[in-house]
A and B are shown apart, each in its own frame.
Chain A
Amino acid sequence: MIKVNPKIKVYRFNHEMESPDYDTFEVELHPGMTVLSALFQIQDKYDDSLAFRYSCRGAVCGTCAMLINKVPRLACRSQVEDLLKDKVPETVADEDISMAGEDISWNPQEEVLVEPLPHLPVIRDLVVDMELFFQYYRLVEPTFRPAGPDPEKERLMDPGAVKELGVYTNCILCGACHAACPVVGENPEYLGPAALAKLYRFYIDPREAEGDSRLEKGDIPNGWWACESYGDCYRVCPRNVPPIVAIRQAINQLNKWK
């Protein structure tokens, strides 16, 4: 148990400011306190102008992804105490995942550093504009296109196929992978891991008519081919979705054709 109250060092920005700044707040720790509940405490008691997105607070809706101690994660799923001990969740690699942003120092023994998701424009404080992220999502045309007309009952599916699909349908579109991907950082036109994982989900759906055209949709320089296999997408994913596996498999398939 930590004796002193921890501090939350928060990124602040609004359009009236010339450059971003950081504010540090001491919060009253309670057992199991998440970064999201710490942010609420700040908003309630110290500064009601602090802006951040939230909804389910149970790690299922994907709203509250932010950069916490330089790693993209869901604020509702990250416990303050674990972060202070620097006990990084298992799915995240030890090394600093090369998060963009300026060099900012913080004391990881006493402070948790909270910043907005990288690679997306900041609207205010921890709120980013997700439009580009969803633009790529729409670009892969994520709408089911069945083979043949609808039968009277359900289309039959093998439970094994459902399991395989589940790996990708689990994506909550929180944007953590997009923020972690070094390629996205270098090339803003890259569709990114989330959109490509979504495309792959439709490619492997056995009920679809046109698996091949799904693959071709990503067969562009900023599609499958732009991935450089860093694997940070999988490491930061709160749902263990592996976009890197989808992308590698799509590339293998395309290579077989060529």
Chain B
Amino acid sequence: MIHQHDVILIGGGLTGLRAALQIKEAGLDGAVISKVHPLRSHSVAAQGGMNASLGNVEGEGGIKDSWQNHAYDTVKGSDYLADQDAVELMCREAPRTVIELEHMGMVWSRLENGKIAQRPFGGAGFPRTCYAADRTGHNALHTLYENMVGREIPVYEEFYLTSLVIDEGRCVGCTALEIVTGEVHGFQARAVLLATGGFGRIYDRSTNALINTGEGTSLALEAGAQLKDMEFVQFHPTTLYGTNILITEGARGEGGILLNKDGKRFMEGYAPRTRDLAARDVISRAMEQEIAEGRAYPGGYLYLDLRHLGPDKIKERLPGIRQIAMDFAGVDPIEEKIPVQPGQHYSMGGVDVDMGGATSIPGLYAAGECACISVHGANRLGGNSLLETVVFGRLVADRIIEDVYSINFTEKEPIKTAMINMDIKIGNILSREEGEHLFQIREAMTRTMSQGFGILREKQDMQENLQEIKKLQKQLPLVSIQNSKRELNQALVRFLELEGMLLLSEAVARSAIAREESRGSHFRTDYPERDDINFLKHTLIDLKDDEMRVSYKPVKLGMFEPEERVY
């Protein structure tokens, strides 16, 4: 079956839904495709908040926040790899974006005077992070979905993106697997927006939802788009030991502190001024060092102590964290310390796009975590990702609205061909009778990525692990799935996810090996210094004839000259 819509939005998280509302507002026919019900998207799990220089809470000495301060913190946090024009745009748009969500009905936490509350966050010079207790993503996503329902915007739920269709150099639609029936559908569109989120599941310790497998990013690469800055993977300092569920930075924003085995507040030694609220890459590396030097608990964890905040503050500002600690670690933070360790959290890299979210393929756009525009550079600040999703969900939709007026639907043939090809591919996958186990390859991949491309990286080690990824890619076609039925075959979906993830793993690996310096989240033990002369530039990856190629392009500087990054 071929469906036709002006705009296809792939992904039902904050970016996809915000864009869909904008497309509808412009009188165009947009439809969302999502591998899960939109409310199950990973945006729902975002805890701490959204940065905007509303200035509702004054900084130290009674100074009021401004978008310029926000931009400075973001660029410094990025270790100067963010494009400053994109950062400026995001920070200027931030206050309006928070208020726009409020106008749509989102419930934000409030100050006594009734204004939206703001809390301190890592790497930020002002209490800038607007929040809804520790369920900011939940409140935002439900609000956007409620607005979608009110406007009757169509959603293809539980449709898994299988390919992007390119005809004469232009993206004219996509194919997707309807998971429940197993049928391949075609989608014809005048523009396609990728909003598929991050790819954290290429690592074994990740805060990401199990669905965050990055197929939008890998399929864009296969379709001929370029990926940017893939080596920059964020490791969040505080993930719950055991399950790696996120413990928000807001917990430290509210006054929580990190302790090692000796009960010492170790961040004082690494970031004397900002201590537990230094940027995430700084804290994760400090924790890694504490672990390596034997000052952590067996198994490799440290403690986050919230007890001194008292029961009232914990219950009011961090109720979700308390629930998570009790449910998944059997620890009540009011009475006990929380065992934490660093874990993969965010993909700074993604599909290379211009300021309007356009990829190098006409008709194909990307926004949110799957894209790299780039506002986060080498390290993202907490509270900037929720902001990015909603700001660029709206702005990229505006760009699409402008662009599609000159674009007409073309013939359906290329879509039909793509559907037939996908159908044959799926048939082949399901007909293999003997072979490797899918989960063994997946586990080997996540282990390999954590070993070789974690917080600390080194050439020899990375090269060996890249070879391992290449080996796994070769084994993948030998995998057999026992269930040969088309209907609701989750093994099939997980196979397709794994295929894309192995490609993304290679992109991360090649980008990381080529960058012979340390910047933001990318730390090379063999090149421990930042090298602005040779590497103040974005890494690009493209795929031609099954070969990945690394190239570079300049960073857009502007208001802020690169300087040493001290917290």
Q: Which of A47, A54, A146 contacts B105 (CB 8 A)?
A: A146
Q: Give residues of chain A (152-180) contacting chain B, Cβ–Cβ below 8 Å.
A: 153-159, 162-163, 165-166, 169-170, 172-173
B42 touching A48, Cβ below 8 Å? no
* Chain A residues, Cβ within 8 Å of B45: 56, 58, 60-61
Q: Once the chains bind, are B481 and A48 in contact (CB under 8 Å)? A: yes
A163: chain B residues within 8 A (beta carbon): 316
* A-chain residues with CB within 8 Å of residue B210 when the two chains form the complex: 54-57
- Smallest CB separation, A116 vs chain B (Å): 13
Q: Is B102 an interface residue (CB 8 A)?
A: yes
Residues of B contacting A207 in the complex (Cβ-Cβ under 8 angstroms)? 105
- List which A101-150 residues lie within 8 A (CB) of chain B: 123-124, 127, 130, 137-138, 141-144, 146, 150
Q: Please, what's the 1-or-0 string for B483-506, where 1 marks a CB less than 8 Å from any CB in chain A?
A: 101011111000000000000000
Judged by a CB distance under 8 angstroms, whether A83 is at the interface is no
A19 to B: closest C-beta gap in Å: 18
Question: Would A138 and B107 count as touching, CB distance under 8 A?
Answer: no
Interface assignment of A258: CB less than 8 Å from any CB of chain B: no
Q: In residues 112-166 of chain B, which contact A (Cβ within 8 Å)? A: 112-116, 133, 135, 138-139, 142-143, 146-147, 149-150
Residues of B within 8 A of A189 (CB): none
Minimum CB–CB distance from B91 to chain A (whole Å) comes to 18
Judge whether A49 and B36 touch: CB under 8 Å.
no
Which chain B residues in 210-253 approach chain A with CB under 8 Å? Answer: 210-211, 242-243, 245-246
Closest to B208 in A: A56
Known: A62-B40, A123-B180, A127-B488. A138 touches B149 (CB 8 A): yes
Give the chain A neighbours of B481 by CB distance below 8 A: 48
Chain A neighbourhood of B41, CB < 8 A: 55, 61
Q: Is the CB of A48 within 8 A of B40?
A: no
Once bound together, how far apart are the Cα atoms of A25 and B323, in whole Å?
Answer: 30
Q: Mark A72-83, 1 if CB is under 8 A from B, else 0.
A: 000001000000
Q: A157-B114, A158-B110 are in contact. Are A56 and B104 (CB under 8 A)?
A: no
Give how many B residues have a beta carbon under 8 Å from the other chain's beta carbons.
Answer: 61
Q: Which residue from A61, A138, A146, A157 sits with its C-beta under 8 Å from B39?
A: A61
In the bound complex, do residue B40 and residue A157 qualify as a contact, i.e. CB atoms below 8 Å apart? no
CB-defined contacts of A170 to chain B, threshold 8 Å: 135, 138
Q: Mark A33-57, 1 if CB is under 8 A from B, else 0.
A: 0000000000111011111111111
Question: Is there contact, CB below 8 Å, between B146 and A56?
Answer: no
Given contacts A45-B439, A127-B488, contact A146 B42 (CB under 8 A): no
If A51-B488, A141-B150 touch, whether A44 touches B439 (CB-CB below 8 Å) is yes
Known: A49-B482, A154-B116. Is A63-B36 also a contact (CB below 8 A)? Answer: yes
CB <8 Å contact, B114 and A158 = yes
The complex places the Cα of A57 from the Cα of B438 at a distance, in Å, of 20
Cβ–Cβ contact A144 & B143, under 8 A:
yes
Residues on A with C-beta less than 8 A from B327 are 59, 77
Q: Establish whether residues A156 and B115, one from each chain, have CB atoms under 8 Å apart when the complex forms.
A: yes
Give CA–CA (A152, B566) in the complex, Å.
38
Q: Which residues does chain A contribute within 8 Å of B99, judged by CB atoms?
A: 153-154
B2 at the interface (CB under 8 A from A): no
Q: Are A63 and B138 in contact (CB under 8 A)?
A: no
Q: How far is the CA of A182 from the CA of B488 in the complex (A)?
A: 30
Cα distance, A60 to B327, chains bound together (Å): 12
What's the interface size class on A, roughly?
Answer: 35 or more
Is A205 interfacial (CB 8 A cutoff)?
A: yes
Knowing A43-B490, A123-B488, A154-B115 are in contact, say whether A49-B483 is a contact too (CB < 8 A). Answer: yes
A188 close to chain B: CB less than 8 A: no
A156-B114, A159-B109 in contact; A49/B489 too (CB < 8 A)? yes
Closest residue of chain A to B327 (Cβ to Cβ) is: A77
Q: Would you call A5 an interface residue if the criterion is a C-beta within 8 Å of the partner chain's C-beta atoms? A: no
Q: Is there contact, CB below 8 Å, between A48 and B488?
A: no
Asked if A32 and B39 sit within 8 Å, CB to CB, the answer is no
Give A55 to B43 CA distance when docked, in angstroms. Answer: 11
B488 CB contacts on chain A under 8 angstroms: 14, 51, 123-124, 127
Contact partner, B139, options A53, A157, A169, Cβ 8 Å: A169
Asked if residues A32 and B242 are in contact (CB atoms below 8 Å), the reply is yes
Cβ of A15 within 8 Å of any chain B Cβ, yes or no, is yes
CA distance A123 to B157 in the complex (A): 15
Closest to B158 in A: A53
One of B37, B42, B245, B491 near A49 (C-beta < 8 A): B491
**Which B residues from 296 to 349 make CB contacts under 8 A with A?**
316, 320, 323-324, 327-329
Given contact pairs A56-B45, A61-B45, A170-B135, A143 touches B149 in the complex (Cβ within 8 A): yes
Residue of B nearest to A82 (CB): B330
Is B257 on the interface with A (CB-CB < 8 A)?
A: no
Residues of A within 8 A of B138 (CB): 60, 169-170, 172
- The answer, among B39, B103, B243, for a CB contact under 8 Å with A173, is B39
Partner of A55, one of B107, B209, B245: B209
Give complex CA distance A162, B327 in Å: 25
Output the nearest chain A residue to B323 by Cβ-Cβ distance: A59
Choice from B42, B116, B133, B139 contacting A56 with Cβ under 8 Å: B42
B111 at the interface (CB under 8 A from A): yes
Q: Which chain B residues border A138 with CB–CB below 8 Å?
A: 149
- Minimal Cβ-Cβ distance residue in B for A156: B114
Bound-state CA distance A192–B135 (Å) is 25
Q: Are B107 and A165 in contact (CB under 8 A)?
A: yes
B338 CB → nearest A CB, Å: 14
A-B contact pairs, 9 of them (CB 8 A): A61-B39, A127-B488, A144-B104, A144-B143, A155-B102, A157-B107, A166-B133, A169-B142, A205-B107
Q: A50-B490, A162-B108 are in contact. List 16 more A-B contacts (CB 8 A).
A: A44-B439, A51-B490, A54-B211, A55-B209, A57-B209, A58-B243, A58-B246, A61-B45, A63-B37, A124-B488, A127-B180, A142-B149, A153-B115, A158-B110, A162-B107, A169-B142
